[in-house]
C-alpha cells in the first residue's frame, strides 16, 4: 500500500529522477522559463522552490547545499546574483505554471510552461499599469450608515455640482381647490362652476 506517499515518481528510478529535476532546475534558473509536461512541472516546483528560499540567505553553507542539488556553477551564480535580488521580498510562490492548450503529439501529454514569477516582463508591465491606474471607490447605495464626514462632504459637493449643471426644470402647479370647488357625486368641474 502507498497511503500518504505524495511524491510523483514520474516513471523513473530515484537517481534518474533527481538528475532530471536537477537539470530542469538549472535550466529554469538560467532561462527563467521551461516548457515541459504538467506532471514534471509540478514535481519541479516542489524541487526548486526550497532552493530559491535558500538563495535568499547568501552564506557559504547555503551556497554549498544549493550546489549539491544543482551541480552547476553557472546556475548557482545566476541564482545568488540576479534571481536572489528579485525574490528577496517575496514570501514564497516563486514559480508559476501556465498550462498550454495544445498537447504533445507523441503521447498526448498535457504541456505547460513553468516560469519564475518575477521575470515575466509582460505580466509585470500589465500589473504596474493597473497599479498606476486611478482607483475608483464604489459608493454605497444606502443612505447614512458607515460613511465618514469626509465622504459625506464629498458626496454633497458632487451632488451640488450635478444640480448646478442640470437645466432648470419648469414646473406647473395644478390649481388648488377652494372650499366652493368641492364636487359632489357624479358632478364634474364645469357643472359645479355653472351652479355657482
Displacement of CA 107 from its chain's centroid (Å): 34
Give the N- to C-terminal CA distance of the chain in Å, as an integer: 107
| pLDDT for the residue numbered 78 | 95
| pLDDT for the residue numbered 27 | 96
Spans of the chain below 70 pLDDT? 134-136, 144-187, 189, 191-193, 196
C-alpha cell at 63: 551556497
| pLDDT for the residue numbered 189 | 66
| pLDDT for the residue numbered 171 | 60
Q: Are 111 and 100 in contact (CB under 8 A)?
A: yes
Q: What is the pTM of this model?
A: 0.65
| pLDDT for the residue numbered 105 | 93
- Read off the DSSP letter of residue 79: I
| pLDDT for the residue numbered 177 | 54
Phi/psi at 10 (5° precision): 55, 25
| pLDDT for the residue numbered 126 | 83
Q: Which fold has domain 14-121?
A: 50s Ribosomal Protein L17; Chain: A, (3.90.1030)
Amino acid at each position: 500500500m502507498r497511503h500518504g506517499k505524495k511524491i510523483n515518481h514520474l516513471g523513473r528510478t530515484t537517481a534518474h529522477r533527481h538528475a532530471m529535476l536537477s537539470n530542469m532546475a538549472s535550466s529554469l534558473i538560467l532561462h527563467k522559463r521551461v516548457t515541459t509536461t504538467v506532471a514534471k512541472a509540478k514535481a519541479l516546483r516542489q524541487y526548486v522552490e526550497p532552493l530559491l528560499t535558500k538563495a535568499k540567505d547568501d552564506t557559504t553553507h547555503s551556497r554549498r547545499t544549493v550546489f549539491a542539488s544543482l551541480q552547476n556553477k553557472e546556475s548557482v551564480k545566476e541564482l545568488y546574483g540576479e534571481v536572489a535580488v528579485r525574490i528577496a521580498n517575496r514570501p514564497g510562490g516563486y514559480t508559476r505554471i501556465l498550462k498550454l492548450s495544445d498537447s504533445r503529439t507523441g503521447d498526448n501529454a498535457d504541456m505547460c510552461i513553468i516560469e519564475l514569477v518575477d521575470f515575466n516582463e509582460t505580466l509585470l508591465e500589465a500589473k504596474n499599469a493597473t497599479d498606476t491606474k486611478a482607483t475608483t471607490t464604489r459608493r454605497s447605495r444606502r443612505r447614512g450608515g458607515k460613511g465618514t464626514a469626509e465622504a459625506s462632504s464629498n458626496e454633497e459637493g458632487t451632488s451640488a455640482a450635478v444640480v448646478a449643471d442640470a437645466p432648470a426644470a419648469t414646473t406647473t402647479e395644478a390649481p388648488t381647490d377652494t372650499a366652493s370647488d368641492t364636487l359632489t357625486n357624479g358632478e364634474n368641474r364645469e357643472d359645479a362652476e355653472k351652479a355657482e
